[in-house]
């Protein structure tokens, strides 16, 4: 089966650091994405990990451990505009000989940044 | 690059009516995906096109749903005999054939409300 777990909600303070965890169990893992989604808007790409380790991109970093089925997204120097839902998604090869590469999403973590 | 566009942005319809949504992917993106997202949930995969070929359909896609991508450019998603449970945001995403990460770029979505 396929299962992706992440916390439903988190609250953090402006200027602080927050870590959003994601655990997954999928049959055809082929990379993990983090997307940001503001209310009523489309998801936008934040990061991609396919090998173990940390990927850093400005204020955002993402970590992957394939053996543990675990990833986290780290947001530094939080700003009010970071208040959004953060979606963890696993790329699944899918059907048709593995050509699909569809995304399997978690439910998302709603982050509220407070002043 | 104008991004992925979707029309209409909002659709309100009565139960039993048919609706059709359109997605225009980013130019030269040969891969096109449809997802459905309900409130408080992550997007769920519906179907995938590679060029004009529909290569995978989710079991979520009942026989009331049909998708096409004539000529491998824009795509349409039709829902026949709509039900209240069809109320959701329908997201389209596309990715470039040469992108090894298969990063998906999402459109703004079509929000469907079935009354």
Residue of B nearest to A33 (CA): B103
Considering only CA atoms, which of B94, B84, B88, B81 is closest in space to residue B34? B94
Question: Sign (positive/negative) of CA torsion A27, A31, A37, A40?
Answer: negative
Among chain B residues, the shortest Cα distance to A37 is held by B42
B68 interfaces chain A, CB cutoff of 8 Å: no
Peptide bond into B8 cis (omega under 30): yes
Please tell me the distance in Å from B90's CA to the nearest CA on chain A: 10
Q: Average pLDDT by consecutive 10-residue portion of chain A (115 residues)?
A: 90 97 88 94 93 94 96 97 96 68 92 97
Q: Is A25 strand, coil or helix?
A: strand
pLDDT tens digit sequence for B7-41: 999 999 999 999 999 999 999 899 999 999 999 89
Position A104 scores a pLDDT of: 92
Q: Which residues in chain A (15-44) have CB-CB distances under 8 A to chain B?
A: 31, 33, 35, 41-44
DSSP state of B97: T
Q: Which two tokens stand for residue B13?
A: 């319809």
CB contact at 8 A, B46 and B36 = yes
Q: Least CB-CB distance to B55: which of A42, A91, A99?
A: A99
Tell how many helices (H) and how many strands (E) occur in chain A. Answer: 1, 11
């Amino acid at each position: 089966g396929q299962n992706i777990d992440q916390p439903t909600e988190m609250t953090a303070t402006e200027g602080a650091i927050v870590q959003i965890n994601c655990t997954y169990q999928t049959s055809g893992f082929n990379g993990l994405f983090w997307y940001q989604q503001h209310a009523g808007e489309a998801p936008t790409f934040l990061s991609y990990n396919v090998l173990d380790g940390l990927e850093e991109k400005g204020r955002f970093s993402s970590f992957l451990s394939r053996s543990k089925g675990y990833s986290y997204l780290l947001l530094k120097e939080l700003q009010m505009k970071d208040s959004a839902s953060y979606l963890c998604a696993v790329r699944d090869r899918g059907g048709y000989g593995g050509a699909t590469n569809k995304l399997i999403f978690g439910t998302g973590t709603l982050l509220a940044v407070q002043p | 690059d104008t991004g992925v566009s979707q029309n209409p942005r909002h659709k309100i319809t009565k139960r039993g009516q048919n609706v059709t949504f359109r997605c225009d992917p980013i130019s030269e993106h040969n891969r096109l995906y449809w997802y459905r997202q309900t409130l408080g949930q992550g997007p769920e995969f519906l179907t995938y096109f590679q060029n004009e070929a529909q290569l995978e359909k989710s079991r979520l896609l009942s026989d009331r749903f049909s998708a096409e991508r004539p000529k491998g450019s824009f795509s349409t998603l039709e829902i026949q005999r709509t039900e209240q449970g069809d109320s959701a945001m329908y997201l389209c995403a596309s990715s470039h054939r040469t992108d090894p990460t298969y990063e998906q770029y999402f459109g703004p979505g079509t929000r469907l409300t079935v009354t």
